A and B are shown apart, each in its own frame.
Chain A
């Protein structure tokens, strides 16, 4: 049984459709990466899964429960936590207060403020600092820590490395490796392909709102992913079981 699944999900903004008929599943403990160029629909899809954006059709399931009618805060209480694009910290609150608000769902588990600080050590000297006075990397660490405070079963990470220095990204990804050990399922939206391939169990590539490639990270070549990413030879990837060469022959 999958931990989280989307069944034929379509969503958009006004008349413009951002994602179309998306089907995806996430297994417990799995790290699924969503890749694609700007505007591919990755963030919209994450927001639909988190309940922050209403789909025009399709359904979202947590284990065997249809959570489509539930709002964002109800889904968080069931164990789905989103690290939103742009971090979206509460600027007038301190780092510790941001973490405490993250625990607002009341879910009990291994993630406490102490555990979060142990996992994201850059937060330790910052707990009393106002969130508006943090660097981008520090903000991202708080945003991830805040999401963990709800003891989620599914962690949705949107653009973790966007605008950050490589050394900070390395540090955050080291922390994410520790987070993964706790067994939660993660869906990661990332534009850094090489880093994505290195950490993901499975990859789904979106192009203009459609799934154009998916498969185990180890089974997909860098060329396949970049081709799908930029929309080259899309037909060869329409069947996810085929390699590029087989697709072209087909």
Chain B
């Protein structure tokens, strides 16, 4: 029963990892940009939620109505004004730009908010749970996180399959040079994809902050690791693979935690390493539209 409970908790934790990884997966799948600042974008989203709480008096869930679109707009213009220009220099230049952002954002956050943890309270929700059978209890917040992650991925799949912009994004992932020959302003397609990636990253950042009882400026350094591991384990560019990768990582963390509280991070990294060695393409077929 203990093993089963750990397994279930791991799957729920995987929902959080998958949500964190989804934006990264979209950015890589469509733009071929490895966003090293992904964790910091999550952190920025969580701080924006905190600002909405403290300045506007909103609750966390209402703050998402501001945070997600606002970070989407930020993503759009970061792509148009910074990453797109960097792409003209070389394929590796955007990587350096995101590395720079990853350094600047947390330091700027320290200047503005200090190093103290800023709370993202959700009232009773953080402690509410559902007992399924004796010995197996599921937290409402982790369950909600998993449901939101699955809905996000399913929604993203529908968006990619059914909308004109989704088609363009899949075409860009296949062959961006040829997409340009179709009369499509690829810069807008890229920027739209980055807007989605930033918006989802911000949402994930808020969920991370809620789960951890608040947010600090350097949280992104750890969350980006989970996001990268989930994406690589699942298969680069595959959205359902990202969910699978998140769940594998979550289960590894949860089972390792049963042995020792010091082990989850190490075991998660070992699983990641094993996937890189034995199945470097990930556990799910690598396609944005997969």
Contacts and interface: CB of A to CB of B under 8 A. Distances in A.
Q: Chain B interface secondary structure, helix, strand, loop or mixed?
A: helix
A76 interface: yes
Contacts of A242: none
Interface in A155-185: none
B179 interface: yes
A146 B170 CA distance: 16
B168 interface: yes
A92 B174 contact: yes
A91 interface: yes
A76 B182 contact: yes
A53 to B, nearest CB: 11
A93 B164 CA distance: 12
B51 interface: no
B184 A105 contact: yes
A105 B183 contact: yes
B77 interface: no
Contacts of A97: 167, 170
Contacts of A105: 182-184
Interface in B206-248: none
Contacts of B170: 90, 92-93, 97
Contacts of A100: 164, 167
Given A90-B170, A101-B167, A101-B171, A150 B178 contact: no
A77 interface: yes
A218 interface: no
Nearest to B178: A88
A88 B185 contact: no
A207 B180 CA distance: 29
B133 to A, nearest CB: 43
Interface string A72-106: 11001100011010001011110001001110111
Given A97-B167, A101-B171, A92 B185 contact: no
Contacts of A146: 182
Interface residues of B, number: 21
B204 interface: no
B130 interface: no
Nearest to A72: B180
Interface string B163-204: 010011011011101111111111000000000000000000
A72 B185 CA distance: 10
B184 A92 contact: no
Given A100-B167, A101-B168, A90 B175 contact: yes
Interface in B261-290: 287-289
Contacts of B180: 52, 71-73, 76
Contacts of A104: 168, 179, 182-184
A50 interface: yes
A107 interface: yes
B171 A76 contact: no
B171 A90 contact: yes
Contact of A52 (B167, B174, B181, B186): B181
A92 B289 contact: yes
Contacts of A81: 181
A105 B181 CA distance: 9
Given A92-B173, A97-B167, A84 B181 contact: yes
A135 to B, nearest CB: 19
A106 B164 CA distance: 12
Contacts of B167: 93, 97, 100-101
Contacts of B173: 92
Nearest to A146: B182
Nearest to A75: B183
A71 B287 CA distance: 29
Interface in B125-167: 164, 167
Contacts of B182: 73, 76, 101-102, 104-105, 146, 150
15 contacts: A71-B180, A72-B180, A73-B184, A76-B181, A76-B183, A88-B177, A90-B174, A90-B178, A90-B179, A92-B287, A93-B171, A101-B167, A104-B179, A105-B183, A107-B183
Q: Which 4 A-B pairs have the closest CB atoms?
A: A105-B183, A76-B183, A104-B184, A90-B174
Given A71-B180, A91-B174, A101-B168, 5 more contacts: A72-B181, A73-B186, A84-B178, A101-B182, A106-B183
